């Protein structure tokens, strides 16, 4: 299927080690957390169950899945911004 990226912010007082899932990236200043996973349903279930049982608000929760175009561009190394143009749609 491909990798999904789950992003959210933690409220003040909640630290990443308390989360029930492994975290890919944390931005300490903003409290932003990023999780890369191939099992987004399982990760979301664990995260939201934990948040509900601990009365923690998960702020700005988003899930993005890479498209076939993203995978292709990554494999070929094509970067339209390097050429100063965007690809036509």
**CATH code of residue 28:** 3.30.70
Residue at 16 is within a domain: yes
Give residue 46's pLDDT band: very low, low, confident or very high (50, 70, 90): very high
Spatial CA neighbour of 3 closest among 42, 25, 35:
35
Ramachandran angles phi, psi of 55, nearest 5°: 55, 50
Q: Which residues are bridge partners to 33 per DSSP? A: 8, 26
Q: Among the listed ranges 29-33, 55-59, 61-65, which one has the minimum average pLDDT value?
A: 29-33
What's the structural domain count of the chain?
Answer: 1
Residue 65 lies in a domain: yes
Tell me, what's the pLDDT at 65?
85
Q: How confident is the model at residue 50 (pLDDT cuts 50, 70, 90)?
A: very high
* 66: containing domain: 4-83
**Residue 72 in tokens:** 């292709």
Residue 54, domain member (yes or no) = yes
Q: Is residue 89 a part of any domain in this protein?
A: no
């Amino acid at each position: 299927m491909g990798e999904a990226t789950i992003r959210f912010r933690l409220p003040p007082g909640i630290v990443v080690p308390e989360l029930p899932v492994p975290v890919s990236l944390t931005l300490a200043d903003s409290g932003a957390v990023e999780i890369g996973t191939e099992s987004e349903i399982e990760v979301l279930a664990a995260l939201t169950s934990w948040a509900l049982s601990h009365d923690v608000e998960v702020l700005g929760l988003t899930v993005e899945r890479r498209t076939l175009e993203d995978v292709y561009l990554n494999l070929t190394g094509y970067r339209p911004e390097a050429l100063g143009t965007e690809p036509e749609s």
